[in-house]
Amino acid sequence: MVTTKFKKGTRVVATTGMRGVPEGTPGNVRIAVGLTWLRYRVSFDNGADVGSVGHEKLVPEHDWADFKKNRARLADEAAAAAEAAATAPKPEPKAAAPAVSGNDKLAELMARSKAAREAKA
């Protein structure tokens, strides 16, 4: 859930590459729209004017350095978790139950029914 909405005039940085805008390009929010899906029209410093930029693709300019550090830390943690999962011992597969043919299954059910009738009598 988005906790803060960028207002008109807020300086932001693109967190992902977009058409005509490389990652890390700063810009200025021109228009903010949306209630549940926040999106913006942003004029970037490289001259690109992009509409419908999702909130998750922008970060305030003053938080850009922290965002990069956090993203790198999360990537390192994910790589470590993947490496740990790859080197973890694999569990032994359970032995499959012997296949029961249709006739064997029918004989088993008949025997159970006979035993139930005898116990009832």
Report pLDDT digits (tens) over 23-72. 999 999 999 988 888 999 999 999 999 988 999 999 999 999 999 999 99
- CB within 8 Å of 18: residues ≥ 6 apart: 50, 53, 57
Tell me the domains of the chain and their CATH numbers: 11-65 (2.30.30)
Asked if the model's pLDDT at residue 1 lies above 50, the reply is no
Find out whether 78 and 72 touch, Cβ atoms under 8 Å: no
Q: For residue 95, name the pLDDT band (cuts at 50, 70, 90).
A: low
Whole-angstrom Cα distance, residue 29 to residue 40? 7
Q: Is the pLDDT of residue 11 over 90?
A: yes
- Asked if residue 2 has pLDDT above 60, the reply is no
CB neighbour list of residue 56: distance below 8 Å, 6 or more residues apart: 15
Rounded to two decimals, what is the model's pTM? 0.64
- 93 confidence band (pLDDT: 50, 70, 90): confident
Tokens of 36: 């549940």
Longest dimension (CA), the chain: 92
Selected residue with higher pLDDT from 93 and 23: 23
Residue 44 or residue 98, greater confidence: 44
**pLDDT reported for residue 57:** 93
